[in-house]
Chain A
Amino acid sequence: MRLPDSLMYENLLFNINKSKSKINDIQKEIASGQKLLTPDSDPTAYTRLATAKATRSKLSGYQENIELAHGKLSQYDDTLGSVYDLMLQLKTTTVAAGNATSGDNGADVYKAKVENILKGLISLGNTNVDGTYAFSGSLTDTPPFETADNGQYITEVSYKGDNQSKIYNLDASERMEINLSGREVFLGTAGNDESIFQITMDIRDSISENGVSNIDDHLEKLQSAMDRMLLKRGEVGNDVQHLEDLETFMDTMGLNLDTRISGLQDTDLAEAAVKLVSMQTIYNASLAMASKLGQMSILDYLR
């Protein structure tokens, strides 16, 4: 085939430009660290990437929720522990007051001691973390327990919160309902008999110079309140265990997703570098060829 000069140069230029633009693409991949620069470079990978990213993002949301729930439960666990300790102290005090002999003048001291325990319990009930009240259900800006007194002793504790559970979305299908409202923890569900505050106030009011009236009855109510408290702590512990399992599971899942996302979008530097070198070789060769061909001329051979 005849090869006119203009055609030869056109072809040379076309091929040089082609390898130059390929080099440019690889350079962009390396410089940005990303394989998918536009959706048309690999639409299938793009779809997979977007789906993986959305899943990852949602998983992060759930991980955040689990962490929050975990923190909240740990805090409840601490508070319930302190409440239990105070109840234990109340029990000791009650037994001691019951054993007091007449004429000790100790009744007022015991009464004051129980009153302090009551105040301690109320203040635990009004625990406030980061500006939110832990035990007022969903009314987190209201102190859950309000007291009324007769000048000397607290006579009434009323609940101002609600009974709503705090719900954490642990994943798409699982919700953890943390129902530790003040009513549930401190007041119980069976009226005044279960109310820790009422039990404490009753014990206080039963203390006299002659010991404690109906002491067995009081101790029995106190003990069953303490048992309920232990049960609650046990439930909290179970929930914490479940959350920890979930955390581990989600960390693994997150890691898998991260690997997949990275595989889809990140440049494989080693591969890209090798490709770059091979493209450079081709580019160099085509340039060298162009310069060699340009030097060749029939005019050199004609006098």
Chain B
Amino acid sequence: MSFVGLNIAGNVMRATRSAMDISGQNIANADTEGYTRQEAVISLLVSGSSLESSITGGNVSTRMTEVKRYRNELMDGNYRTENQILGEREGLDKYLTEVSSIFSDVSDYSLSDTLNKFWNSWNTASQTPEDVALRNQILEQGKILVSSIKLKATGLQELKETVTKDIYTQVDELNSLTEQLASVNSQISLAYNNVSQTNTLLDQRDLILDKLSKIADVQVVEQKDSRVNVYLDGTPLVDGNNSYDVEAQINSDNEITFVKENGREVEIKQGLLKGYKEARDEYIPSYMDELNEFASSLIEKVNQYHSTGYGLDESTGLNFFSGTDAFDIDVNITDPRQLALSSTTLESATAINLEGETITTTGTIADQADSFGITPEGSGVVSVNGVEVAWTDSQTLNEILDSIGSATGITVKFDSSSQKIILSSPTDSSSITVSDVSGNFAAFTGLAGMSSTTGSVGNGENGVRIFELSTEKLWNNQSFTDKYTGLVSRIGYETSTVNTTKGTQEQYVEMIDEIRKSESGVSIDDEMMSMIKYQTTYQAAAKYASVIDELFQTLLSDFG
């Protein structure tokens, strides 16, 4: 009889104590981020080859041979790859949602409703153009419209600045993470033989890698000694115990670029940084361009009509809007009497002899709705849109009109009921320029009036023409409302698409994470069960030791 029995009991008690400690550590860290479940591996201790076994004749005992770390490395890799894609979607989604809320105008004070009210104010005032109070309405609605356009423009501008700041913050985060990783690497190489310390460091390492994968598409290469090297676009961010910083810079095109310490530009293809960059350099500028295009067309079109009309105070040639884009658009007119609601239509000639008349004409007609009353006399050459048409005394007025029409493609006809010559351009946006090349200009009282006589107070034709702009199809069959609505619905579509793909990717990443965690996460139930298991084993071993002890006692006392 040897002390082998006590040896066995001691080994079992030592092994189960360690195993219980590990269960305790698991329970304590059940909620610790990045903690990986560990398990004691208790295996046979065959002491057959040792000196001891040669004495005892080959007894068997147990000991804790390993602390196993439950980590699914395949799923870790999958998780990080998919997390990079998710990062990009999340970054883009975050700011597109913001854009969407800037343009979330479904209320009665939205830009499109303001635009409708603006057009209607022209209509209302034009029906009684002499009413200054109604004219004031145009100025008020104009100011509201201008401020809501500016609000959107500055909203986008400010958002762009916010994204820029966020990019800087994320780059700082990236640099801080790579720095931490380099330090963890150096500790891993030092603690290579200490199992429990190494496991903790590996947890830290994996957590940092998870976080890194959200920010950018980094490539991870694990070394034999469990240290990892991290590369971005082929250049190292972490190489062993060293880390290298990345910096965000704004280039000459006002776009974000990422530059390494050594000056090399790196391309980030996934992750939050990519999403933010897309929002800042692609989506927001394109929305801004479209908003600017909308504003500048509004300025241009309204001004084009407004400047040809006449105000109550006989002013003309004034622009309604000042500025050129969504940022500097403003209402130029301050005096409501200067609003050019009147067109240049002049009083028609009361008597005109159609037989054998000849015409000449000068001046600029901005729109097909313009008409002139004239008193033709004399002869000469008329130039319409640069096309010169000559006539002789022998032609009738209608023949002359026909020859102008066929030479220029412009519809020219004499309306006998209103005693007016109507020039209509086949394309609505081009203007008609009429001037006399030779001939008796002075005879044309109506046209002479073009430049000297102003419109009359009761005429609201020009205002109505501006009102008609509201549904005029200016771009590819699109009106101002369509244009703006097109922008907003584009934002809506893009936001909801990104939001949906983000949601799908999120679920995918969640699923992978769940598989990962189902292996590496701590289950209290499991731990309690192993606790009981080890406790019972420990108790049994202790009992065994005490029985052996009793045996010795018996032996010693009987022989003593």
Contact A43 to B458, CB < 8 A, known contacts A6-B31, A61-B120, A163-B348? no
In contact, B106 and A47 (Cβ under 8 angstroms): no
Contact A4 to B458, CB < 8 A, known contacts A39-B488, A51-B485? no
Known pairs A38-B495, A42-B492, A47-B489 / 19 extra A-B pairs, C-beta < 8 Å: A2-B518, A2-B519, A5-B521, A14-B510, A34-B106, A38-B100, A39-B104, A40-B495, A40-B499, A43-B489, A43-B492, A50-B112, A51-B481, A53-B113, A58-B470, A132-B128, A137-B347, A137-B456, A298-B529
8 A Cβ contacts from B446-485 to A: 456-461, 464, 467-468, 470-471, 479, 481-482, 484-485
Task: Let me know if A49 is at the binding interface, CB within 8 A.
Answer: yes
In contact, A164 and B492 (Cβ under 8 angstroms): no
Task: Let me know if B435 is at the binding interface, CB within 8 A.
Answer: no
A-B contact pairs, 24 of them (CB 8 A): A2-B518, A2-B523, A2-B526, A7-B514, A38-B495, A39-B495, A40-B499, A41-B492, A41-B496, A43-B489, A50-B489, A53-B116, A54-B116, A57-B470, A61-B120, A61-B123, A64-B124, A65-B123, A137-B458, A140-B130, A140-B458, A141-B458, A162-B347, A169-B467
Chain A neighbourhood of B101, CB < 8 A: 38
Task: Let me know if A265 is at the binding interface, CB within 8 A.
Answer: yes
A6 in complex: contacting residue of B30, B96, B106, CB < 8 Å: B30
8 A Cβ contacts from A1-53 to B: 1-7, 11, 14, 34, 36-44, 46-47, 49-51, 53
Contact A49 to B518, CB < 8 A, known contacts A43-B489, A137-B456, A139-B458? no
Cα A189 to Cα B417 with chains together (Å): 12
In contact, A4 and B106 (Cβ under 8 angstroms): no
Cα A65 to Cα B134 with chains together (Å): 14
Chain A neighbourhood of B117, CB < 8 A: 57
Task: Let me know if A167 is at the binding interface, CB within 8 A.
Answer: yes
Chain B neighbourhood of A43, CB < 8 A: 489-490, 492-493, 496
Look across to chain A and name the residue whose beta carbon is closest to the beta carbon of B27: A5
Contact A302 to B528, CB < 8 A, known contacts A39-B488, A58-B471? yes
Task: Let me know if B119 is at the binding interface, CB within 8 A.
Answer: yes
Task: Let me know if B525 is at the binding interface, CB within 8 A.
Answer: yes
8 A Cβ contacts from A159-191 to B: 162-169, 172, 189
Contact A40 to B456, CB < 8 A, known contacts A47-B489, A57-B120? no
Chain A neighbourhood of B195, CB < 8 A: none
Chain B neighbourhood of A137, CB < 8 A: 347, 456, 458
In contact, A138 and B482 (Cβ under 8 angstroms): no
Task: Let me know if B191 is at the binding interface, CB within 8 A.
Answer: no
In contact, A6 and B521 (Cβ under 8 angstroms): yes
Min distance, Cβ B457 to any Cβ of chain A, angstroms: 5
In contact, B525 and A298 (Cβ under 8 angstroms): yes
In contact, B489 and A4 (Cβ under 8 angstroms): no
B458 in complex: contacting residue of A42, A132, A168, CB < 8 Å: A132
Min distance, Cβ B47 to any Cβ of chain A, angstroms: 35
Q: Is the interface of B mostly helix, strand, loop or mixed?
A: helix
Q: Which bucket holds chain A's interface residue count?
A: 35 or more
B residues within 8 Å of A by Cβ?
30-31, 37, 96-97, 100-101, 103-104, 106-107, 112-113, 115-117, 119-120, 123-124, 127-128, 130, 345, 347-348, 350, 418, 456-461, 464, 467-468, 470-471, 479, 481-482, 484-486, 488-493, 495-496, 499, 510, 514, 517-526, 528-529, 532
Task: Let me know if A299 is at the binding interface, CB within 8 A.
Answer: yes
Task: Let me know if A60 is at the binding interface, CB within 8 A.
Answer: yes
8 A Cβ contacts from A234-283 to B: 265
Min distance, Cβ A42 to any Cβ of chain B, angstroms: 8
Task: Let me know if A289 is at the binding interface, CB within 8 A.
Answer: no
In contact, B123 and A141 (Cβ under 8 angstroms): no
Cα A265 to Cα B107 with chains together (Å): 10
Chain A neighbourhood of B456, CB < 8 A: 137-139, 162, 164
Bitwise interface map of A from 116 to 148 toward B, beta carbon under 8 Å scored 1, else 0: 000000000000000110001111110000000
In contact, B119 and A38 (Cβ under 8 angstroms): no
Cα A297 to Cα B524 with chains together (Å): 9
